[in-house]
Protein backbone atom coordinates (compact mmCIF):
# COMPACT_ATOMS: atom_id res chain seq x y z
CA UNK A 1 0.00 0.00 0.00
CA UNK A 2 1.29 3.46 -0.84
CA UNK A 3 2.04 5.80 2.03
CA UNK A 4 0.36 8.75 0.36
CA UNK A 5 -2.12 8.92 -2.49
CA UNK A 6 -0.96 9.57 -6.03
CA UNK A 7 -2.02 13.13 -6.93
CA UNK A 8 -3.40 13.36 -10.46
CA UNK A 9 -4.29 16.60 -12.25
CA UNK A 10 -6.62 16.45 -15.26
CA UNK A 11 -6.35 19.38 -17.66
CA UNK A 12 -8.72 20.68 -20.30
CA UNK A 13 -9.33 24.09 -21.83
CA UNK A 14 -12.28 25.36 -19.77
CA UNK A 15 -12.39 22.81 -16.93
CA UNK A 16 -16.12 22.34 -17.33
CA UNK A 17 -16.68 18.84 -18.77
CA UNK A 18 -13.98 16.23 -19.49
CA UNK A 19 -11.52 17.22 -16.77
CA UNK A 20 -14.38 17.61 -14.27
CA UNK A 21 -15.66 14.12 -15.15
CA UNK A 22 -12.16 12.64 -14.76
CA UNK A 23 -11.59 14.32 -11.38
CA UNK A 24 -14.88 13.08 -9.97
CA UNK A 25 -14.53 9.55 -11.34
CA UNK A 26 -10.99 9.03 -10.05
CA UNK A 27 -11.87 10.39 -6.61
CA UNK A 28 -14.85 8.02 -6.58
CA UNK A 29 -13.01 4.85 -7.64
CA UNK A 30 -9.45 5.63 -6.49
CA UNK A 31 -9.74 3.65 -3.24
CA UNK A 32 -7.58 6.15 -1.38
CA UNK A 33 -4.60 5.34 -3.62
CA UNK A 34 -5.34 8.37 -5.82
CA UNK A 35 -6.41 11.98 -5.23
CA UNK A 36 -7.70 13.73 -8.34
CA UNK A 37 -7.86 17.41 -9.23
CA UNK A 38 -8.84 19.21 -12.42
CA UNK A 39 -8.12 22.57 -14.00
CA UNK A 40 -8.37 24.47 -17.26
CA UNK A 41 -5.76 26.15 -19.39
CA UNK A 42 -8.19 28.93 -20.23
CA UNK A 43 -11.37 28.84 -18.14
CA UNK A 44 -13.88 31.54 -18.97
CA UNK A 45 -14.59 34.25 -16.41
CA UNK A 46 -17.00 32.80 -13.82
CA UNK A 47 -16.68 29.35 -15.46
CA UNK A 48 -18.80 26.67 -13.82
CA UNK A 49 -18.87 22.91 -14.42
CA UNK A 50 -21.19 22.02 -17.27
CA UNK A 51 -24.63 21.14 -15.84
CA UNK A 52 -24.81 18.06 -18.08
CA UNK A 53 -21.47 16.85 -16.71
CA UNK A 54 -22.82 17.21 -13.18
CA UNK A 55 -26.08 15.48 -14.11
CA UNK A 56 -24.15 12.62 -15.75
CA UNK A 57 -22.02 12.13 -12.63
CA UNK A 58 -25.04 12.16 -10.35
CA UNK A 59 -26.85 9.62 -12.57
CA UNK A 60 -23.77 7.36 -12.27
CA UNK A 61 -23.83 7.66 -8.47
CA UNK A 62 -20.70 9.83 -8.35
CA UNK A 63 -20.66 12.87 -6.08
CA UNK A 64 -20.31 16.22 -7.81
CA UNK A 65 -20.61 18.29 -4.61
CA UNK A 66 -17.08 19.67 -4.38
CA UNK A 67 -16.45 20.22 -8.09
CA UNK A 68 -15.60 23.67 -9.36
CA UNK A 69 -13.92 25.09 -12.45
CA UNK A 70 -10.46 26.55 -11.88
CA UNK A 71 -7.36 27.67 -13.74
CA UNK A 72 -4.28 25.50 -13.98
CA UNK A 73 -2.37 28.43 -12.46
CA UNK A 74 -3.74 27.30 -9.09
CA UNK A 75 -1.64 24.15 -9.33
CA UNK A 76 1.58 25.90 -10.31
CA UNK A 77 1.66 27.87 -7.04
CA UNK A 78 4.21 27.05 -4.36
CA UNK A 79 1.49 26.00 -1.89
CA UNK A 80 -0.35 23.75 -4.36
CA UNK A 81 -0.44 20.02 -3.72
CA UNK A 82 2.46 18.39 -5.58
CA UNK A 83 1.24 16.39 -8.56
CA UNK A 84 2.53 12.95 -9.42
CA UNK A 85 0.75 12.75 -12.76
CA UNK A 86 -0.72 15.40 -15.08
CA UNK A 87 -3.09 14.16 -17.80
CA UNK A 88 -4.47 16.38 -20.54
CA UNK A 89 -7.91 15.22 -21.69
CA UNK A 90 -8.40 17.54 -24.65
CA UNK A 91 -6.18 18.20 -27.63
CA UNK A 92 -6.31 21.97 -27.17
CA UNK A 93 -4.91 21.86 -23.63
CA UNK A 94 -2.30 19.32 -24.73
CA UNK A 95 -0.99 21.76 -27.34
CA UNK A 96 -0.53 24.61 -24.84
CA UNK A 97 2.70 25.34 -23.01
CA UNK A 98 1.97 24.19 -19.50
CA UNK A 99 3.11 25.98 -16.38
CA UNK A 100 6.04 24.56 -14.45
CA UNK A 101 4.61 21.90 -12.19
CA UNK A 102 6.41 21.62 -8.85
CA UNK A 103 7.97 18.18 -8.44
CA UNK A 104 8.18 17.47 -12.19
CA UNK A 105 5.18 15.11 -12.40
CA UNK A 106 4.77 12.39 -15.00
CA UNK A 107 2.61 13.48 -17.95
CA UNK A 108 0.27 11.83 -20.42
CA UNK A 109 -2.38 12.82 -22.95
CA UNK A 110 -5.75 11.05 -23.09
CA UNK A 111 -7.75 12.83 -25.78
CA UNK A 112 -11.54 12.72 -25.67
CA UNK A 113 -14.06 14.47 -27.90
CA UNK A 114 -15.78 17.38 -26.19
CA UNK A 115 -19.29 16.23 -25.23
CA UNK A 116 -20.40 19.83 -24.75
CA UNK A 117 -19.69 20.50 -28.45
CA UNK A 118 -22.30 17.98 -29.62
CA UNK A 119 -25.03 19.52 -31.74
CA UNK A 120 -28.39 17.91 -31.14
CA UNK A 121 -31.24 17.63 -28.71
CA UNK A 122 -30.79 17.22 -24.96
CA UNK A 123 -30.99 13.42 -25.14
CA UNK A 124 -28.19 13.31 -27.73
CA UNK A 125 -26.08 15.69 -25.67
CA UNK A 126 -26.61 13.62 -22.49
CA UNK A 127 -25.63 10.48 -24.38
CA UNK A 128 -22.38 12.19 -25.43
CA UNK A 129 -21.65 12.98 -21.77
CA UNK A 130 -22.47 9.39 -20.74
CA UNK A 131 -20.17 7.99 -23.43
CA UNK A 132 -17.35 10.32 -22.36
CA UNK A 133 -17.83 9.28 -18.74
CA UNK A 134 -17.60 5.59 -19.73
CA UNK A 135 -14.49 6.17 -21.87
CA UNK A 136 -12.72 8.04 -19.07
CA UNK A 137 -13.80 5.48 -16.47
CA UNK A 138 -12.47 2.60 -18.58
CA UNK A 139 -8.97 4.10 -18.57
CA UNK A 140 -9.16 5.10 -14.93
CA UNK A 141 -10.20 1.55 -13.96
CA UNK A 142 -6.97 0.36 -15.59
CA UNK A 143 -4.92 3.09 -13.90
CA UNK A 144 -6.16 2.33 -10.39
CA UNK A 145 -5.44 -1.36 -10.87
CA UNK A 146 -1.78 -0.84 -11.74
CA UNK A 147 0.48 -2.70 -9.34
CA UNK A 148 2.11 -0.52 -6.70
CA UNK A 149 5.50 -1.04 -8.38
CA UNK A 150 4.13 0.66 -11.51
CA UNK A 151 3.40 3.86 -9.65
CA UNK A 152 6.86 5.33 -9.37
CA UNK A 153 7.36 8.42 -11.54
CA UNK A 154 8.84 6.84 -14.66
CA UNK A 155 6.64 3.77 -14.60
CA UNK A 156 3.58 5.94 -13.94
CA UNK A 157 4.33 8.10 -16.99
CA UNK A 158 4.93 5.05 -19.19
CA UNK A 159 1.79 3.30 -17.88
CA UNK A 160 -0.41 6.39 -18.28
CA UNK A 161 0.84 6.93 -21.84
CA UNK A 162 0.18 3.29 -22.69
CA UNK A 163 -3.36 3.59 -21.32
CA UNK A 164 -3.97 6.34 -23.90
CA UNK A 165 -3.81 3.58 -26.51
CA UNK A 166 -6.53 1.51 -24.86
Q: What is the mean pLDDT of residues 39-44?
A: 88
pLDDT, tens only, 84-106:
999 999 876 556 666 667 777 88
Q: Where are the domains of the chain?
A: 6-154
Q: 6-154 maps to which CATH number?
A: 3.40.50.2300
Check if 27 is active-site.
Answer: no
Choose the catalytic residue: 12, 52, 133, 160. Answer: 12
Question: pTM for this one?
Answer: 0.88
Check if 83 is active-site.
Answer: no
| Angle in degrees, 0-180, between the axes of helices 122-144 and 51-59, rounded to the nearest 10 | 60
**Residue predicted with more confidence, 73 or 124:** 124
pLDDT at 156: 72
Report how far residue 50's alpha carbon sits from residue 35's, in angstroms, rounded to the nearest whole number: 22
Q: What is the mean pLDDT of residues 151-155?
A: 67
Whether residue 18 contacts residue 115, with contact meaning beta carbons closer than 8 Å, is answered with yes
pLDDT at 132: 97
The answer, yes or no, to whether residue 58 has pLDDT greater than 50, is: yes
pLDDT at 163: 83
Amino acid sequence: MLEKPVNVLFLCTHNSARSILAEAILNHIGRGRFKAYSAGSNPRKNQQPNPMALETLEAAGISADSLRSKSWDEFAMADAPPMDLVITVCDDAASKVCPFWPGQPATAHWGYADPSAIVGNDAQKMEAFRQTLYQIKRRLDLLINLPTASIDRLMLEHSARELAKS
